Amino acid sequence: MAERPTSGRRGGKPPAHDPSAGGKRSAMKPEADPGDGPTRESWPEAGRRAMSERTPAPHGELARGTAVIAEALKTLPGSPGVYRMLDRRGDALYVGKANNLKKRVSSYCQTGNLPHRLQRMVAATASLEVVTTHTETEALLLESNLIKRLMPRYNVLLRDDKSFPYILIASDHAFPQIVKHRGARNRPGAYFGPFASAGAVNRTVTALEKAFLLRSCSDSVFSARTRPCLMYQIKRCAAPCVGHIGEADYGELVGQTQDFLTGRSHGMQQRLAGAMQASSDRQDYESAAVYRDRIRALTQIQSRQDINLEGLDDADVVVAHQDAGETAIQVFFFRAGRNYGNRAYFPRHDKSLSPQAVLSAFVPQFYDNKPTPKLILLSHPLSDQALIAAALSVRAGRKVALLNPARGPKRKLVEHALSNARDAMGRRLAESSAQRELLEGLAERLGLDSTPERIEVYDNSHIQGSDPYGAMIVAGPEGFVKGAYRKFRIKQALNPDGGDDYAMMREVLTRRFSRALKEDPERASDQWPGLLLIDGGRGQLSSVQEVLGDLGLSDIPVAGIAKGPERNAGREQIYLPERPRPLLLEPRDPVLYFLQRLRDEAHRFVIGSHRAGRTKARLRSVLDGVPGIGPKRKKALLHRFGSAQAAARAGLADLESVDGINKVVAKKIYDYFHTDS
């Protein structure tokens, strides 16, 4: 495929992606109005954007954006591909695919037919880039890939994209290990999943250990054992490490485990029941008890399957429920006829989008980097459902079916998932409502002009000036935003007798907002706080005001929070710039509890950063500074002399006797530590 930059390309090269060229070219449905295209709502501006999306873009800016698109149309082909609208910084505003690029993009020039939201998108467009593809299927694959990588502001965005855990039965050892696995599947073996949560995997692995006695220890632990470990004593391992079971018999247990995980369990359980009865008839009650425990463990796994559908092998159920302008998407995983759990998602999107539109954008993104089952049951028909099915089939290398069951057992399964989605949405709205009330109460208590959509909390940590760290946490209408947390390794030299908290705070705030001004001098992005909360009193607050004043940011509200008299945690004092005395809230005020949570979260995060840095510093060795000493030679020196200090005191002849240390390297080491002697 060829890339065609147009209209003053300023963005970087798109992420590498190589969608398959196979498959027939799909006939595209009539072009949808751009107003039906997917958008997303950026969370820190949620309140402001609700109003701005009803406000038309300034006429001059809209005319400039339209001119950019019109100029790009002169060179656009009528072939399939993906287009990207970029702002003046080169950041992606929107990523879309089309069967006919020229026809699709030209619809954005008809600004009179666009809603205000898309008018603002066009007004912000400074350049446009396209990637042509052979088929519309390729375009869809590339579109979902780019949306996830570039996170465009006006696309539906899947925010929670963590990888799912699997069960791995490794095949790189004579006695295979069973273990929870997450991430790239590079290790040879059989993978079973995905599971919706780590807890579901852990429970299943524990039950499988009880049922089939497979080892979960690492290969290094396995090779070092001289007697059975505790897992053998509690009947969760057959102890192959010390020869209590042979390779052939252990291999049979591995085969039984794989049969169970692939759905061939009924006959195996019958065989175990027969073996238990036979042992009992022989009065070999110890063996009968082992078979009994294995059957119980298998039953325990099956008893957790609250949903079972005859004939359902590998399938996902993906449903959407909307309320209050938000969408809850619930995904259920079924593998080998068993329920492997479910997970809820809340993608960001414009409030005007229908569940069908959100689901249509969600499905390609969700399966962009995940194995796709043979069947996906949906609550709503997708726009371009045949195209999406073809794209998923290309990626999976086999046929993938998308179904919208209207009746029967499969429809009951969809209804059950919808019930879970409704419950998840109810919990989310209740939490959001409570959080919004706290933010409004905070704005009222502190006398802020508006409710803060983004609160940044700062704290420092050090031990008498050593290993100093600063940290920033972020909170907003949806609670803590951990992806926005930042830690700062303090660079300037501090007073060794106790550090300088004021200087540390000045450095952290200067670095944070100097960079923000460099990246967004007009303060147009959503990364600017509505309130700065500082852990400290009047001194720290003055330091922050000084930094903000020097940077021309005095309009950002600031407050300090410190413990009350005798450091009473229930009587926090709140310091405000224009208030001569600290503000004291009522002990039972929910806003006070909210401020305490913010302060404690910042304290937790900075302490963790400081401890990690201190641990890393302790692990540094005096040998690390010696030229030519890498990990292997360092290890050899430590094995030979017992410590880095002993190696530093060693003579030249002793250094030359170490494995891997020749005369030249030994001389370098000796000279490094004896230059003044």
pLDDT tens digits for 392-434? 999 889 999 999 999 888 999 999 999 999 988 888 877 777 8
Report how far residue 530's alpha carbon sits from residue 541's, in angstroms, rounded to the nearest whole number. 16
The four Cα atoms 570, 575, 579, 581 give a dihedral, to 10 degrees, of 50
Lookup: tokens for 232: 């053998």
Which pLDDT tens digit goes with each residue over 637-668?
877 777 777 788 888 888 888 888 888 888 88
Domain with CATH 3.40.1440.10 in the chain: 3-150
Buried b (16+ CB within 10 A) or exposed e, 513-522: beebeeeeee
Q: What pLDDT, on the 0 to 100 scale, is given for residue 471?
A: 87
Residue range(s) of every CATH 1.10.150.20 domain in the chain? 622-673
Average pLDDT over residues 614-627: 60
Rounded Cα distance, 574 and 560, in Å: 6
- Report, in angstroms and rounded to the nearest whole number, the Rg of the chain calculated over CA atoms: 31
Q: What is the mean pLDDT of the chain?
A: 80
pLDDT band at 300, cuts 50/70/90?
low
What is the Cα 500 distance to its own chain's centre? 36
Partners of residue 189 on adjacent β-strands: 170
Confidence of residue 309 (pLDDT cuts 50, 70, 90): low
- Tell which residue, 332, 264, 251, has the closest CA to residue 298: 264
Task: Name which of 106, 110, 144 is nearest 128 in CA terms.
Answer: 106
Given a contact cutoff of 8 angstroms between Cβ atoms, the answer to whether 275 and 291 are in contact is yes
Rounded distance between C-alpha atoms, residue 350 and residue 37, angstroms = 10
Tell me the two tokens of residue 536.
């400290």
The secondary structure element, H or E, covering residue 604 is helix 590-619
Report the pLDDT value the prediction gives residue 567, as an integer from 0 to 100.
Answer: 52
Judge whether 194 and 183 are in contact, CB under 8 Å.
Answer: no
* Helices (H), ranges, 620-660: 631-641, 644-649, 652-656
Question: How much is the pLDDT for 619?
Answer: 43
The pLDDT value given to residue 37: 37
Q: How many CB atoms lie within 10 A of CB 384?
A: 19
Min mean pLDDT across 205-214, 355-364, 542-551, 640-649 is at 640-649
Contact 169, 214 (CB under 8 A): yes
What is the share, in percent, of the chain residues with pLDDT greater than 70?
82
- Is 405 in a helix, a strand, or coil? coil
CATH class, range 622-673 = mainly alpha
Q: Indicate the SS3 state at residue 532.
A: strand
Residue 613 has pLDDT above 70, yes or no: no
Out of 48-57, 109-118, 609-618, the most confident range is 109-118
What is the pLDDT at residue 40?
34
Contact predicate 136/94, CB 8 Å: no
Band (pLDDT 50/70/90 cuts) for residue 463 is low
Kindly report the CATH class assigned to 315-426: alpha beta
pLDDT of the residue at 568: 52
Residues 6+ apart with CB under 8 A from 64: 123
pLDDT band at 306 (very low <50, low <70, confident <90, very high): very low
Provide, rounded to the nearest whole percent, the portion of the chain with pLDDT above 90: 31
Position 632, amino acid: K
- CATH tag, 455-618: 3.30.420.340
Q: Has residue 168 got a pLDDT over 70? A: yes
Average pLDDT on 187-194 reads: 89
Characterize the bridge pairing of strands 92-98 and 3-6.
unpaired
What is the structure's pLDDT at 26? 34
- Domain limits, CATH 3.30.420.10, in the chain: 315-426
Task: Read off φ and ψ for residue 558, nearest 5 degrees.
Answer: -135, 145
Lowest mean pLDDT among 160-164, 210-214, 325-329: 160-164
Kindly report the CATH class assigned to 3-150: alpha beta
Mean pLDDT of 424-445: 85
The phi and psi torsions of 479 (rounded to 5 degrees) equal 100, -155
Residue showing tokens 């989310």: 428
pTM of the model: 0.60
Chain-centre distance for alpha carbon 238: 37
What does the alpha-carbon distance between residue 504 and residue 488 come to, in Å, rounded to a whole number? 10
pLDDT at 355: 92
Strand partners, 96: 83
Residue by residue, DSSP assigns 171-236 as -SSSS-BEEEE-S---SSEEEE---S-HHHHHHHHHHHHHHH--B-S-HHHHHH-SS--HHHHTTS
3-state secondary structure of 306: coil
Residue 600 pLDDT > 70, yes or no? Answer: yes
Out of 96-110, 285-299, 535-549, pick the least confident.
Answer: 285-299
Tell me what pLDDT residue 34 has.
Answer: 35
pLDDT tens digits, one per residue of 553-582: 988 999 999 876 655 555 788 999 988 888
CA-based max dimension of the chain:
93
Q: Pick the closest to residue 364 from 388, 338, 395 (CA basis).
A: 388
3-state secondary structure of 574: strand
Residue 43: pLDDT over 90: no
Q: Is the separation of the CB atoms in 300 and 160 below 8 Å? A: no
For the chain, give every residue range classified as CATH 3.30.420.340: 455-618
240, two tokens: 């192959």
